Structure 1
Amino acid sequence: MAIGPVQLIVLGFHNPEFHGEITAELERLRESGTVRVIDALAVHKDAEGEIEVAHLSNLTDEEAREFGSAVGALIGLGIEGDKGFVAGAQAGAEAAAEGVHVFSDEEAWDVLEDIPNDSAAALLLIEHHWAVPLRDAVVKAGGFRISDGFISPLDLVELGLLTAEEARQAHELERAGSAR
């Protein structure tokens, strides 16, 4: 089975009181074939920086068995305690032996460090189904991915895609939670 491009998205929350809106939207995207949530974790960091982790997912039972705790392994979080750390290390060693690049300590993205104390984050590992045909066409044409990233709404003004007011509103909407 071809897997689409995979992305880790980290969303921060002050005083999270989830009422199912995010899960419902992810389920809608799944049903439409747009994205698949490979794994999802909710991480709460208390005022002292102590971490609590809860597994979130809309995977089928079969997919959950296939992917396990992918986010935990990716960011080095031993969600299954010592067994999780050992399993992550073994998976990384096997991937490296097969020629797959594994993050070095210098390259690692310390996701947990980026989460402010006394807040929470949802860590979503998603597969972009919509991008599979595009990626395949690029590969067929001899192309390859060099880089990617999200563009701030403020940068879209210069391109004429948003007015200054629309960009300001979109930027404020994206950053509203971080200002608390």
Structure 2
Amino acid sequence: MSEYELSELGPVDYLVIEFPAGHQNFRGEIAEELLRLAEAGTIRVIDAIILTKDEDGNVDASELADAGDLGELVKLEAELAELLAAEDVEKLANAMDPGSVAGVLVYENVWAGPFASATRRAGGQLIANGRIPIQAIIASLEADEALETTGA
């Protein structure tokens, strides 16, 4: 990346999505949505790998290019920076259950780039961020609804 591109970079996040053994139902839908987000300019994929963990706990990491026929994902693969190091992969794999497959995605939030750049030019720096899991939001809303229903 050039110095200009780095100064305009939006926040960079990563996701690790595990698909437990027996619950893997890949139909191409994930790839379609990922491409849609990238083509819309919402995100820019920086790195993507696939982790498999066998029943003995051995982990195999594959770059997207090694995953076989990429179909339309070949558009994204050409731009990947391969940012994740072996130590990163090892740490991420520790969270996986044996027999599972996980996708690791590192992406720039392109939509937030102008705001992030303006913040940096004003002397600001990100000191904390986080994400609230959707399951926690659903549980909270259900608990609030139960309180309203019972009147307690």
Compute the TM-score of the two structures, normalised by the length of structure 1.
0.60
Aligned pair 1:40/2:21, yes or no? Answer: no
Structure 2 residue aligned with 1:138, among 116, 119, 128? 119
Aligned pair 1:119/2:127, yes or no? Answer: no
Q: How does 1:45-84 map to 2 (within 5 A)?
A: 45-56=53-64, 58=73, 59=76, 61=78, 63-64=79-80, 67=81, 69-72=82-85, 75=88
1:114, 1:155 → 2: CA distance?
A: 19
1:165, 1:120 → 2: CA distance?
A: 32
1:133, 1:123 → 2: CA distance?
A: 26
1:74, 1:37 → 2: CA distance?
A: 20
In the alignment, what sits opposite 1:98? none
How big is the alpha-carbon RMSD for the aligned residues of Structure 1 and Structure 2? 2.8
Q: Displacement of 1:113 after TM fit?
A: 0.9
Q: Kindly provide the amino acid, as one letter, of the partner of residue 135 in structure 1.
A: A
Compute the TM-score of the two structures, normalised by the length of structure 2.
0.70
The 3-state SS of whatever aligns with 2:31 is helix
**What is the number of equivalent residue pairs in this alignment?**
128
Change (3 A) 1:117 1:156: closer
Q: Deviations over 1:99-149 (max 9, x none)?
A: xxxxxxxxxxx1111111111110101111011011122223332101111
In the alignment, what sits opposite 1:4? 10
Contact 1:71 1:124 in 2 (8 A): no
2:117, 2:34 → 1: CA distance?
A: 24
**Unaligned segments of structure 1, at least 5 residues:** 78-109, 168-180
Q: What is the identity percentage for the equivalent residue pairs of Structure 1 and Structure 2? A: 33
**Unaligned segments of structure 2, at least 5 residues:** 66-72, 146-152
Larger mean Cα displacement after TM superposition, 113-122 or 52-61: 52-61
Q: Displacement of 1:6 after TM fit?
A: 1.4
Structure 2 residue aligned with 1:14, among 16, 20, 26? 20
Contact 1:154 1:164 in 2 (8 A): no
2:25, 2:85 → 1: CA distance?
A: 23
Q: Displacement of 1:165 after TM fit?
A: 6.5
Q: Deviations over 1:148-175 (max 9, x none)?
A: 1111346658xxxx732699xxxxxxxx
